[in-house]
Amino acid sequence: MNQWVAVSKDDHAQWYYWPRDKYHFAQAQQVVPVLLAELGKLLPHFALGFIKEKGVYTPVALLSLDGKTNHYLHPEGKWLGTYVPAALRGYPFRLAEQQGESQQLVLCVDQTVLTEEPSAKPLFDEDGQLAKGVAKTLDFLTQCEKNRQVTAACAQKLADAGVIEAWPLEIGRGEGNEPLKVNGLYRINEKALNGLGAEALHALRGGPLSLAYAQMFSTHQLHELTKRIEYLAQAGAAQGVPENIDSLFDSGEDDDLTFDFDS
């Protein structure tokens, strides 16, 4: 389990960290938050939906249907797909609220990757500044956070317009098997969206409508998940998942720390 701790020059000047080793940390992750800026990259590969926590809707990409395993991962941690959602690429770092009244976001690191072994990557350079790799990750996370706020505002506008509804998702599992039911997801109510008046629809122009249509169009990618489930189950039962399974899903592991989602 991840153990996040704020990166501090006072506490970590002489510490090192082991960089991300593939995506083992996301093995049991069922959904991942997504950004408005990456919708174009997500649509060819992921089914999108919303989750609701404390009355707030967050757009997410579905990674699992069985609630147990991330079906975009090889058992050895390699990402099976051409695009890795931005929310996963900053690991082992993240931005989190600092305890206290300010609620300021600070750079945190997963404590489980910290080490005093000099062969690992340094957190700070000889001048006491963030090491180059850490600074680059911080810049990436900062840009993601800015877009996360934009994304959250768009989702809120959709919720205020009354076009988000519960998604009673059921996935067929073949003759003789009960359908798989996925709970806790929300989607765009297309009928409600189309029924909005001109003024209400105009208020959703831009990001909110882009997010709404992306979610609706992405449901065609549910077959991507079911295909993965079937193949991984069959391959695993037969002889173990082969090393080249990624080729079946066009793996390119686009996991650079870049915010240029248009490239």
| Mean pLDDT value across the chain | 87
Residue 24: strand, helix, or coil: helix
Query: Would residue 96 be called left, alpha or beta, if left means φ above 0 and alpha means ψ between -120 and 50 degrees?
Result: beta
Mean pLDDT, rounded, for 49-65: 95
Q: Is the pLDDT of residue 5 over 90?
A: yes
Q: Is the pLDDT of residue 17 over 70?
A: yes
Q: What is the per-residue pLDDT for 263?
A: 42
* Least confident interval from 25-29, 121-125, 173-177, 199-203: 173-177
pLDDT band at residue 182 under the 50/70/90 scheme: confident
> Cβ-count burial of 212 within 10 angstroms (0-12 exposed, 13-18 middle, 19+ buried)?
buried
Q: What is the per-residue pLDDT for 247?
A: 53
Q: What is the per-residue pLDDT for 171?
A: 74
Beta bridge partners of 62: 31
Instruction: Report percent pLDDT > 70 for the chain.
Output: 84
Mean pLDDT, rounded, for 156-171: 93
Mean pLDDT, rounded, for 168-174: 73
Please report, for the chain, the start and end positions of each structural domain, with discontinuous segments joined by +.
Answer: 4-239
pLDDT band at residue 186 under the 50/70/90 scheme: very high
DSSP 116-170: --TTSEESB-TTSSBPHHHHHHHHHHHHHHHHHHHHHHHHHHHHHTT-EEE--EE
* Least confident interval from 43-52, 87-96, 243-252: 243-252
213-251, pLDDT tens digit by residue? 999 999 999 887 877 777 776 665 445 555 444 455 554
Mean pLDDT, rounded, for 29-54: 96
pLDDT band at residue 169 under the 50/70/90 scheme: confident
Q: Rounded CA gap, 217 and 56, in Å?
A: 22
pTM of the complete model: 0.88
Using the structure block, give the residue that is written with the tokens 């169009």.
217
DSSP 92: T
Q: What is the per-residue pLDDT for 235?
A: 60
